[in-house]
């Protein structure tokens, strides 16, 4: 969430930049400033009351020592009143602080200055494109037909076991899935990211820490009896490793990678754009995240973009990179680049990665700080990206690598699969 001091000092700029998200944040920002002023006034009054009470306590002690019990008892009545006032002020202060926090939770991150204006994904700015779109043989089909033909993913069986959006990978389909996970992790660890295995359920504090709560509460599966949430991405548990952490400046940067299944309740309306592997309730993803010094986080973001580009080059999939406009920007992000693979059989682009810089937005929620060279505590910057989300990568491989004789396996994956063709 945004820092109140930042809002106070940059009020007009914050409102103007939030307007890129197509929201008028004037009322929320003004209310936040008013609540903070009231909170600070209450804190000052509380501190003054406590100081007066402490001073009287010392005076009462001295009066008893000097034998002036009557004066001391009169002052004790006043300290009793001050204690009641203190208790009331503490409650009022807590209520005001809670109201301010709840309001700040509703204010999205401020977009970076280079985020383009726009309302929907149609207004996103394409900044890079690479790879040749293959010419497919006559009779080429979308992946939802291919997986049936070669019996490598079974949606009907998944529906029987669980429900729609929970596929069962079979035979070479399962081995290709496992190969992609291993390949992505190897690429990430070779690039310097430390691999972690994290829980697949998180508590409420973790959801608030990375911004899934309260913004995306309806999109997560909630285990109500234990008040735990199935993770929508490895970003949530991995970033919360650093919740309530004070780092040394020398600890930065930190890079982590991890594979997890991901669970999302919303899977969209039925149609070609969400058929097959295009959108699922459960899917596999390999994530990268970074904790960075504020002065170096945008260089790190560019490095993450180049890293994902290197993976797609090795997979030899045609792709493009989009800079998201304000209207399509995620709640917690200051700047996001989306990667999309072109599906020749579907004749459309499929999103397979988002790489984002959250600046201090998550770190402020997490209380993730580092001690700078001046010895002062400063909020870190956090970043994360998909490297990569598997369903649409798999769909892109199946569709773009299909031949009349079967589906070829990208050369870089053959050492992981142990086969070079699905037929």
For residues 57 and 118, which has the higher predicted lDDT (pLDDT)?
118
> Does residue 111 belong to any structural domain of this protein?
no
Verify that 244 and 326 share a domain, yes or no. yes
Q: How many CA atoms lie within 13 A of 38 on its CB side?
A: 16
Mean pLDDT of 112-128: 96
CATH number at 388 reads: 3.30.930.10
> Does residue 22 belong to any structural domain of this protein?
yes
What is the band of 79 on the pLDDT scale with cuts at 50, 70, 90? Answer: confident
% residues pLDDT > 90 (the chain):
87
Q: Select from 76, 106, 136 the last residue of a domain.
A: 106
Verify that 145 and 95 share a domain, yes or no. no
Verify that 97 and 147 share a domain, yes or no. no
Verify that 141 and 70 share a domain, yes or no. no
Q: Are strands 194-195 and 254-263 parallel, antiparallel or unpaired?
A: parallel
Whether the pLDDT of residue 343 is over 80: the answer is: yes
> Does residue 160 belong to any structural domain of this protein?
yes
> Does residue 115 belong to any structural domain of this protein?
no
Q: Select from 50, 83, 106 the last residue of a domain.
A: 106
Residue pLDDT, tens place only, 195-221? 999 999 999 999 999 999 987 778 899
Residue pLDDT, tens place only, 256-275? 999 999 999 875 544 556 78
Verify that 31 and 142 share a domain, yes or no. no
> Does residue 239 belong to any structural domain of this protein?
yes
Verify that 138 and 219 share a domain, yes or no. yes
Verify that 330 and 368 share a domain, yes or no. yes
Instruction: Give the pLDDT of residue 325.
Output: 98
Mean pLDDT of 245-254: 98
Residue pLDDT, tens place only, 177-193? 999 999 999 999 999 99
Write the DSSP string, 249-314.
GGG--EEEEEEEEEE-S----SSGGGTTTTS-SEEEEEEEEEEE-GGGHHHHHHHHHHHHHHHHHH
Instruction: Give the pLDDT of residue 336.
Output: 98
Verify that 10 and 139 share a domain, yes or no. no
% residues pLDDT > 70 (the chain):
98
Range of the domain at 207: 121-422
Cα of first residue to Cα of last residue in the chain, in angstroms, is 51
Verify that 237 and 335 share a domain, yes or no. yes
> Does residue 19 belong to any structural domain of this protein?
yes
Verify that 160 and 125 share a domain, yes or no. yes
Instruction: Give the pLDDT of residue 273.
Output: 60
> Does residue 114 belong to any structural domain of this protein?
no
Mean pLDDT of 305-322: 98
Alpha-carbon distances, residue 115 vs 86, 118, 150, 340 (angstroms): 47, 9, 43, 18
Instruction: Give the pLDDT of residue 270.
Output: 47
Whether the pLDDT of residue 253 is over 60: the answer is: yes
CATH number at 81 reads: 1.10.287.40
- Considering its fold, how many domains does the chain have in total? 2
Whether the pLDDT of residue 75 is over 80: the answer is: no
* 333 beta partners: none
Contact 289, 354 (CB under 8 A): no
Whether the pLDDT of residue 72 is over 90: the answer is: no
Residue 322's φ and ψ, nearest 5 degrees, are -115, 140
Mean pLDDT of 124-149: 95
Verify that 90 and 149 share a domain, yes or no. no
Query: Rounded to an integer, what distance in angstroms lies between the CA atom of residue 110 and that of residue 1?
Result: 10
Q: Select from 44, 74, 106 the last residue of a domain.
A: 106
Query: Rounded to an integer, what distance in angstroms lies between the CA atom of residue 413 and that of residue 415?
Result: 6
Mean pLDDT of 299-303: 98
Write the DSSP string, 107-134.
SPPPPPTTPPP-SSGGGPEEEEEESPPP
Query: Rounded to an integer, what distance in angstroms lies between the CA atom of residue 142 and that of residue 161?
Result: 25
> Does residue 116 belong to any structural domain of this protein?
no
Whether omega before 388 lies within 30 degrees of 0, making that bond cis, reads: yes
């Amino acid at each position: 969430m945004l820092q109140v001091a930042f809002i106070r000092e940059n009020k007009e700029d914050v409102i103007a930049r939030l307007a890129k998200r197509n929201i008028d944040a004037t009322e929320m920002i003004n209310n936040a400033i008013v609540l903070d002023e009231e909170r600070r006034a209450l804190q000052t009054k509380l501190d003054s009351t406590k100081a007066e009470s402490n001073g009287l306590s010392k005076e009462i002690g001295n009066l008893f020592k000097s034998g002036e019990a009557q004066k001391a008892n009169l002052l004790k009545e006043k300290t009793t009143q001050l204690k009641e006032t203190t208790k009331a002020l503490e409650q009022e202060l807590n209520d005001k602080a809670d109201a301010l926090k709840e309001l700040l939770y509703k204010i999205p991150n401020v977009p970076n200055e280079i985020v383009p204006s726009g309302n929907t994904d149609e207004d996103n700015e394409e900044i890079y494109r690479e790879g040749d779109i293959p010419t497919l043989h006559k009779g080429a089909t979308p992946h939802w037909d291919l997986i049936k033909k070669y019996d490598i993913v079974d949606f009907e069986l998944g529906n029987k076991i669980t429900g729609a959006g929970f596929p069962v990978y079979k035979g070479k389909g399962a081995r290709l899935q496992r190969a992609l996970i291993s390949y992505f992790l190897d690429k990430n660890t070779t690039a310097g990211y430390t691999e972690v295995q994290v829980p697949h359920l998180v508590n409420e504090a973790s959801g608030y820490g990375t911004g899934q709560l309260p913004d995306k509460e309806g999109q997560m599966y909630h285990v109500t009896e234990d008040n735990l949430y199935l993770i929508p991405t490895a970003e949530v548990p991995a970033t919360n490793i650093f919740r309530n952490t004070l780092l040394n400046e020398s600890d930065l940067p930190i890079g982590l990678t991890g594979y997890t299944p991901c669970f999302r309740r919303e899977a969209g309306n039925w149609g070609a754009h969400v058929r097959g592997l295009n959108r699922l309730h459960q899917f596999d993803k390999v994530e990268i995240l970074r904790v960075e010094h504020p002065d170096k986080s945008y260089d790190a973001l560019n490095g993450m973009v180049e890293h994902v580009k290197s993976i797609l080059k090795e997979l030899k999939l045609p792709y493009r990179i989009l800079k998201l406009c304000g209207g399509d920007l995620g709640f917690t992000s200051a700047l996001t680049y989306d990667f999309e693979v072109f599906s020749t059989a579907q004749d459309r682009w499929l999103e397979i990665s988002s790489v984002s810089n959250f600046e201090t937005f998550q770190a402020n929620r997490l209380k993730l700080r580092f001690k700078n060279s001046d010895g002062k505590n400063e909020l870190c910057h956090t970043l994360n990206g998909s490297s990569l989300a598997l369903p649409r990568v798999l769909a892109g491989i199946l569709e773009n690598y299909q031949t009349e004789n079967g589906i070829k396996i990208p050369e870089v994956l053959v050492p992981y699969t142990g086969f070079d063709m699905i037929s």
